[in-house]
A = this chain, B = another copy of it.
Amino acid sequence: MKTRERILVTSLELFNEFGEPNVTTIHIADEMDISPGNLYYHFRNKNEIIYELYQQFEKRMNEILVPPPEDRQITMEDHWLFVHLLFEHIWEYRFIYRNLPDLLASVDKLATHFNRILDKKERVNKAICEGLIANGTMIATVDEVNSLSQNITMTMTYWLNYENVRNKGKHTEDLGKGVYQVMSLLTPYLEPTHRAFMQDLSKKYL
């Protein structure tokens, strides 16, 4: 691995483990056993590292956040897979979600970029609800789909953060439980015959 890439991998590990505000470029250089000068040759400051990691995060996130094709029947299994992939990706870059307001304020344009991701999350959630309604899996009004899509987006964004607070900072977050909580927001809108999937999930996760 080249030094530049190693800096990024090491920074991501340290940010995730200790929180970005508690990690300096000195720590990163020290962990890698390189001189701070060598690090500064590749990144002028910590914000440049954050921005680069954010771009990696965004690139993959955009691949996950694709609305299902309209001609395809959407099932609860599709929804489960989507939420699971999303949580796995957030977990990989969890430092971004830990101190959102400060992180977004620290790097230029990050707040705009992150809001674009939240917009997309909301759109995909809405498209999934509409797909489930179209094929009779779910029943909900337009207002209900709107507030539900926002609540799902919010829960997807903060659940791991919440688990971290619940575990008093120990990294024992349970992605499966998060997926279950997000999907349980949908359950009451499902046609009774389609609730078996959620009952199976609950046996697995609760």
Stoichiometry, copies per complex? 2
Which B residue sits closest to A118, measured CB to CB?
B166
Which B residue sits closest to A185, measured CB to CB?
B151
- CB distance B159 to A154 under 8 Å? yes
Which interface class (under 10, 10 to 19, 20 to 34, 35 or more) fits A?
35 or more
* Dominant secondary structure at the A interface: helix
- CB distance A21 to B111 under 8 Å? no
Of all A-B residue pairs in the complex, the 10 with the closest CB atoms, nearest first, are: A188-B188, A147-B184, A158-B158, A111-B168, A154-B162, A99-B99, A98-B101, A100-B165, A188-B189, A143-B202
* Beyond known contacts A111-B169, A158-B161: 20 more, CB 8 A cutoff: A21-B102, A98-B102, A99-B99, A99-B101, A100-B161, A101-B164, A105-B169, A144-B187, A146-B206, A147-B181, A148-B184, A150-B181, A151-B151, A151-B155, A151-B181, A151-B184, A154-B181, A155-B155, A157-B162, A157-B165
